């Protein structure tokens, strides 16, 4: 295909859409993004960026709590000991919303600089090469395209007996308008979003109850990592209710009540619903055009982001492949490279690194412990607690570990888990090893700084060599 003559229309300006737009523009295509809620998408405006900004404040505050372990105590001007830091939620939220808006503006400026046209409005497919955009003023435009990318994302799941009201019963997208810190927040759902936000509010000073329908928090994650996190939650005073399924959430005179299926009731000042998301794929013409959609409403795509209809691609949360901004962006880039005739490697989910921004963080890449246990991969593992690492001791880090998985025989690194403060940074050497098929000996033979937490990654690799 001759790229300069190609036209691309993208529905949705989140990471799936805007990253694709930049690649398509670089490949010489004429690109239009139709976006309903603001470029950057939910990732920047309501989900990923705001939650991580909130967590940064909570993390900062928890450092005050550990200060005394490191021999520091804080005094006010009169020399009296200060034991508590206090979060001013309006200031915290103001910062979060300003930061998200600035990030969205930066992305908008980058798109404009690269010649991408952005239309603020709602798009729908009319046919494979045609999109109708309904703009903010109610007018419509029909856009024809050689390639259409659908990247419309997902939205919080709402269940009939737990309707958010934006005041006391909240989705994760509504928490940034709170004027005061919830006195007692009941978080329903102990997946990644529930766990991250429960700990963030605990760190900010709320009393927090986490309602989890499963045996332990973070179901589906590495069991050793989830156990560390649940222990930390309890140690810091969070009330974790395991095997507790929510039946309904409603308002009381002064707050909320979460009723559980077994009849128990949990009262709080606010409830945060974190019970999953649903793809935004209805009413955008997919059925009319014949794009295959799964029972859950996700668009079916292959490893180069093609849908069942020629010329129509899809990326991000609307495909349900892996709900991560990084994966959405990669799917979008791959779609454009494939459709515009550039070199392309299919999506490799085995090398996706992911992080849960609890304190400590949990970062993972590649095969999991479950894959090893079930025999999906013939590999061996080693787990090193961080408590023996000298840098961890210096920094007062007591919880966490490094786990590495290597194929039996050759010793190729096939996965790993890091539970540590800033595990999101520490997982990178393991990701490099997984992506490029490095062996434990290559990892162990690479210098690390002394003292450093990454020393534990090299040490784990060294121990795997001894075992082989």
Ligand X SMILES: Cc1cc2nc3c(=O)[nH]c(=O)nc-3n(C[C@H](O)[C@H](O)[C@H](O)COP(=O)(O)OP(=O)(O)OC[C@H]3O[C@@H](n4cnc5c(N)ncnc54)[C@H](O)[C@@H]3O)c2cc1C
* Chain positions contacting ligand X, by CB under 6 A: 11-17, 34-37, 41-43, 47-48, 51-52, 122-123, 151-154, 172, 193, 280, 284, 316-318, 323-326, 328, 357
Using DSSP's 3-state secondary structure scheme, residue 318 falls into helix
Distance CA 441, CA 261 (A): 52
Q: Which is nearer to ligand X, 364 or 412 (CB)?
A: 364
Smallest gap from Cβ 52 to ligand X, in A, equals: 5
Are 331 and 361 spatial neighbours (Cβ–Cβ below 8 Å)?
Answer: no
- CB of residue 57 to ligand X, shortest distance in Å: 15
Of 172 and 405, which has the nearer Cβ to ligand X?
172
Nearer of residues 223 and 322 to ligand X, judged by Cβ: 322
By beta-carbon proximity to ligand X, the closer residue of 43 and 260 is 43
Q: How many residues are there in the chain?
A: 468
Structural contact between residues 293 and 287, judged by C-beta atoms closer than 8 angstroms = yes
Residues with Cβ within 8 Å of 165's Cβ and at least 6 positions away in sequence, in order, are 251
Q: Are 449 and 455 in contact (CB under 8 A)?
A: yes
Give the shortest CB-120-to-ligand X separation in angstroms. Answer: 9
375: left (phi over 0), alpha (psi -120 to 50) or beta: left
CB 150 to ligand X: min, Å: 8
Shortest Cβ distance from residue 74 to ligand X (Å)? 31
Cα 14 from Cα 40, distance rounded (Å): 4
Q: How far apart, in whole angstroms, are the C-alpha atoms of residue 184 and residue 207?
A: 5
Dihedral over alpha carbons 196, 202, 206, 207 (to 10 degrees): 110
Instruction: Write the DSSP assignment of 216-284 as a string of letters.
Output: SSSTTS-HHHHHHHHHHHHHTT-EEETT--EEEEEE-SSSEEEEETTS-EEEESEEEE---EEE--TTS
- Closer residue to ligand X, CB minimum distance, 200 or 460: 200
333 vs 349: CA distance, rounded Å: 15
Distance CA 214, CA 41 (A): 31
Strands 270-273 and 169-171: parallel
Judged by beta carbon, residue 189 or residue 429, the one nearer ligand X is 189
Report the nearest approach of ligand X to the CB of residue 16 (Å): 3
Whichever of 317 and 459 has its CB closer to ligand X, that residue is 317
Residue 226 C-beta: closest distance to ligand X, Å: 18
| E strand intervals along 145-234 | 147-150, 154-156, 169-171, 184-188, 207-211
Shortest Å, Cβ 121 to ligand X: 7
**Are 148 and 313 contacting, i.e. CB atoms less than 8 angstroms apart?**
yes
- The residue among 43 and 246 lying less far from ligand X, judged by its C-beta, is 43
Give the integer Cα–Cα distance in Å for 132 and 197: 38
Closest to ligand X by CB, 330 or 379: 330
CB of 320 to ligand X, least distance (A): 10
Q: Specify the residue, 351 or 372, whose C-beta has the smaller distance to ligand X.
A: 351
**Beta carbon of residue 280, minimum distance to ligand X (angstroms, whole number):** 5
């Amino acid at each position: 295909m001759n790229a300069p003559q190609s036209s691309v229309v993208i529905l949705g300006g989140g990471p799936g859409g805007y990253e694709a737009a930049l690649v398509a523009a670089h490949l010489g295509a004429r690109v239009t993004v139709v976006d309903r809620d603001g470029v950057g998408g939910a990732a920047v405006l309501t989900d990923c960026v705001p939650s991580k900004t909130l967590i940064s404040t909570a993390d900062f505050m928890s450092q005050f709590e550990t200060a005394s372990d490191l021999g520091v105590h804080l005094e006010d001007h009169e020399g009296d000991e200060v034991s508590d830091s206090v979060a001013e939620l309006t200031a915290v939220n103001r910062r979060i919303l300003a930061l998200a808006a600035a990030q969205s503006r930066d992305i908008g400026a980058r798109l404009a600089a690269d010649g991408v046209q952005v239309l603020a409005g709602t798009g729908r497919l009319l046919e494979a090469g045609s999109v109708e955009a309904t703009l903010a003023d109610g007018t419509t435009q029909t856009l024809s395209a050689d390639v259409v990318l659908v990247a419309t994302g997902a939205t919080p799941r709402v269940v009939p007996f737990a309707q958010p009201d934006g005041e006391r019963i909240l989705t994760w997208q509504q928490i940034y308008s709170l004027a005061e810190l919830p006195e007692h927040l009941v978080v329903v759902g102990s997946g990644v979003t529930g766990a991250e936000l429960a700990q963030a509010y605990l760190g900010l000073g709320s009393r927090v109850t986490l309602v989890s329908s499963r045996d332990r928090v973070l179901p589906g994650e590495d069991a050793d990592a989830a156990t560390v996190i649940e222990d930390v939650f309890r140690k810091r005073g969070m009330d974790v209710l395991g095997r507790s399924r929510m039946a309904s959430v409603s308002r009381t005179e002064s707050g909320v009540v979460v009723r559980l299926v077994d009849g128990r009731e949990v009262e709080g000042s606010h409830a945060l619903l974190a019970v999953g998301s649903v793809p935004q794929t209805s009413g955008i013409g997919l059925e009319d055009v014949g794009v295959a959609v799964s029972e859950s409403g996700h668009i079916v795509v292959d490893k180069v982001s093609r849908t069942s209809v020629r010329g129509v691609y899809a990326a991000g949360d609307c495909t349900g492949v892996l709900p991560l901004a990084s994966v959405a962006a990669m799917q979008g880039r791959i779609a454009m490279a494939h459709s515009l005739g550039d070199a392309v490697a299919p999506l490799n989910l085995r090398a996706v690194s992911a992080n849960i921004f609890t304190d400590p963080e949990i970062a993972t890449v590649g095969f999991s412990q479950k894959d090893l246990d079930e025999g999906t991969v013939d590999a061996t593992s080693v787990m090193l607690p961080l408590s023996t690492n000298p840098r961890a001791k210096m920094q007062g880090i007591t919880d966490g570990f490094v786990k590495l998985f290597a194929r039996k025989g050759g010793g190729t690194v096939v996965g790993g888990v890091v539970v540590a403060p800033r595990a999101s940074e520490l997982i990178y050497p393991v990701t490099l090893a997984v992506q490029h098929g490095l062996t434990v000996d290559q990892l162990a033979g690479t210098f690390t700084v002394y003292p450093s937490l990454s020393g534990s990654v090299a040490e784990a690799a060294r121990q795997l060599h001894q075992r082989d």
